[in-house]
Amino acid sequence: MSEHVATHDDHDHGPEKGLMRWVRTTNHKDIGTLYLLFSLLMFLIGGAMAMVIRLELFQPGMQFVDPQFFNSMTTMHALIMVFGAVMPAFVGLANWLVPMMIGAPDMALPRMNNWSFWILPFGFAMLLSTLFMEGGAPAAGWTMYPPLVLQTQDAFPFLIFTVHILGLSSIMGAINIVATILNMRAPGMSLMKMPLFVWTWFITAYLLIAVMPVFAGAVTMLLTDQYFGTSFFDAAGGGDPVLFQHVFWFFGHPEVYIMILPAFGIVSAIVPTFARKPLFGYSSMVYATASIAFLSFIVWAHHMFTVGMPVAGELFFMYATMLIAVPTGVKVFNWVSTMWRGSMTFETPMLFALGFIILFTIGGFSGLMLAITPVDFQYHDTYFVVAHFHYVLVSGAIFSIMAAAYYWLPKWTGNMYDERLGKIHFWLSTIFVNVLFFPQHFLGLAGMPRRIPDYSLQFADWNMVSSIGGFAFGLTQLLFCYIVYKTIKGGQKATDRVWEGATGLEFEKLSSPPPYHSFTEAPQVK
Amino acid sequence: MMADSQEHRANRRGIWITVILLALVALGLYLGPMLMKVLE
Instruction: Verify whether residue A395 is a known catalytic residue.
Output: no
C-alpha gyration radius of chain A: 23
Of A175, A178, A217, nearest to B30 by CB-CB distance is A217
Chain B contact present for A109, CB below 8 A? yes
How far from the centroid of its chain's Cα atoms is residue A150's Cα? 28
Q: How far is B37 from chain A (nearest CA, A)?
A: 7
Task: Give, in order, the Cα–Cα distances in Å from A191 to each of A78, A439, A468.
Answer: 35, 44, 47
Q: What is the mean pLDDT of chain B?
A: 80
Yes or no: say if A151 and A168 are a contact pair by the CB < 8 Å rule.
no
Task: Tell me whether residues A11 and B3 touch, CB distance under 8 A.
Answer: yes
**Positive or negative torsion for Cα B23, B29, B35, B39:** positive
> For residue A482, what is the enclosing H or E element?
helix A460-489
Q: How far apart are CA A421 and CA A25, in angstroms?
A: 33
Q: How far is B18 from chain A (nearest CA, A)?
A: 6
**N-term to C-term CA, chain A:** 23
Q: What percent of chain A has pLDDT over 90?
A: 94
Average pLDDT, chain A: 95
Name the percent of chain A lying above pLDDT 70. Answer: 98
Q: Could you tell me if A85 and A43 are in contact, meaning their C-beta atoms sit under 8 angstroms apart?
A: yes
Average pLDDT estimate for A157-162: 96
User: Rounded to a whole number, what is the distance in Å from the CA of A209 to chain B's nearest CA?
Assistant: 6
The CB-side HSE value for A314 (13 A sphere, CA atoms) comes to 14
The confidence score (pLDDT) of residue A8 equals: 44
For the ranges A115-124, A125-134, A313-322, B1-10, which has the lowest average pLDDT? B1-10
Q: Say how far apart CA A246 and CA A389 lie, in whole Å.
A: 19
Q: How much is the average pLDDT of A101-126?
A: 96
Q: Does B40 touch chain A (CB under 8 A)?
A: no
Does the pLDDT value for residue B20 go beyond 50?
Answer: yes
pLDDT at A16: 83
Q: What is the pLDDT, as a whole number, of residue B36?
A: 87
Please give the C-alpha separations between residue A132 and each of A53, A67, A69, A72, A155, in angstroms, as whole numbers: 18, 16, 11, 12, 10
| Cis preceding linkage at A110, omega within 30 | no
Report which of A185, A120, A29, A96 is spatially closest to residue A404, judged by C-alpha positions.
A96
Question: What is the reported pLDDT for A5?
Answer: 42
Question: Can you tell me the mean pLDDT for A72-81?
Answer: 97
DSSP for A194-219, please give it.
S-HHHHHHHHHHHHHHHHHHHHHHHH
Distance CA B7, CA A3 (A): 19
Kindly indicate the confidence band of residue A168, based on its pLDDT and cuts at 50, 70 and 90. very high
A351-362 confidence digits (pLDDT tens): 999 999 999 999
Per-residue pLDDT band for A6 (boundaries 50, 70, 90) equals very low
A492 closest CA partner among A515, A512, A464, A518:
A512
User: Is A214's CB within 8 Å of B29's CB?
Assistant: yes
pLDDT of residue B9: 55
Question: DSSP characters for A410-475?
Answer: HHHHSB---HHHHHHHHHHHHHHHHHHHHHHHHHHHTTPBSS-S---GGGHHHHHHHHHHHHHHHH
Contact A57, A467 (CB under 8 A): yes
Distance CA B2, CA A283 (A): 33
How many contacts, defined by CB atoms under 8 Å, are there between A and B? Answer: 89
Q: Is the pLDDT of residue B5 over 70?
A: no
The answer to whether B20 contacts chain A (CB < 8 Å) is no
Q: pLDDT tens for residues A26-75?
A: 999 999 999 999 999 999 999 999 999 999 999 999 999 999 999 999 99
Q: How confident is the model at residue A13 (pLDDT cuts 50, 70, 90)?
A: low
Q: What does pTM read for this prediction?
A: 0.94
Question: Could you report the per-residue pLDDT of A208-255, keeping only the tens digit for each?
Answer: 999 999 999 999 999 999 999 999 999 999 999 999 999 999 999 999
pLDDT at B7 over 80: no
User: pLDDT by residue (tens digit) across A301-348?
Assistant: 999 999 989 999 999 999 999 999 999 999 999 999 999 999 999 999
Residues facing A382 on adjacent strands: A449
Q: Which amino acid is at A188?
A: G
The answer on pLDDT for B8 being more than 50 is no
Q: For residue B31, give the chain A residue with the closest CA.
A: A217
Q: pLDDT for A171-207, tens place per residue?
A: 999 999 999 999 999 999 999 999 999 999 999 999 9
Contacts of B37 in chain A (CB under 8 A): 221, 232, 243
Name the residue type at position A228.
F
The pLDDT of residue A520? 86
Residues A433, A50: contact at Cβ < 8 Å?
no
- State the Cα angle at A208 between A202 and A210, rounded to 5°: 105
